[in-house]
Amino acid sequence: MNIKQLTFLFTVFLFTQNMLCGQSYYSFKENGKYGFKDSTGKILIRAVFEDSLKYKNGVAIFYTDRIFIINRDGNILRTCIHPKSDLGAGYEYSSGLLACQDSVTNKFGYLDTNGNWKIPPKYYQVADFKYDLATVWEDPDIKPDKGSDCGTPVTHMKWGVIKRNGRYLIKPKYLMPAKIDASSIIFEDRDNKIYRFDHKGKKLKK
């Protein structure tokens, strides 16, 4: 399905939504895909979407082989390739930002609700924002693998934590992505060492 077809479907959807004059509508699933019905069970949009539409912050996200971000006027703001984040990022907005994988560089950045890059795509892996913080891996550190007979280069991850403005709160140097909860940031590094920080980036005592 191309963008023109998607735009047409959304135009029909929005027109129908206006005609309902406030009546309820519901997503339904058929053959693994989603469509929309009204409160009487009448199908308004046949099941063509990989996921049901949920508007948040004025935009909806839906998936085919790509991610489409669309506003309430039916305009497609941006398309991204389907995210390949190991941390499951890019399926919904958090802290007003959406993790997205750029189709040109294959790197991750964060979009605002207008579909513009708020934080440019320069990361190799990312997580969704949580408590206005996100853990990211920016640059691969390629070193010879000491455990390999032929010294095959391997990638050593260096994870850090950024704020909503894209600046680092904690510089990238940890082996594993951070776990962020309501009061702390926790990194697990080599040899199972644990490092804890508060949300201001101050290291906490063990």
Express each pLDDT in 46-62 by its tens digit. Answer: 776 666 556 666 777 76
Give dist(CA 188, CA 193) in Å, integer: 6
Percent of the chain predicted with pLDDT > 90? 28
* pTM confidence score: 0.68
User: How many structural domains are present in the chain?
Assistant: 1
Q: Is 55 inside a domain boundary? A: no
Q: Is 122 a member of any domain?
A: no
Residue 188, in any domain of the structure: yes
Domain of residue 185: give its range. 130-206
Q: How confident is the model at residue 72 (pLDDT cuts 50, 70, 90)?
A: low
Per the DSSP assignment, residues forming a β-bridge with 68 are 62, 79
HSE of 81 in the Cβ direction (CA atoms, 13 Å)? 12
Look at residue 150 and tell me whether its pLDDT is greater than 60: no
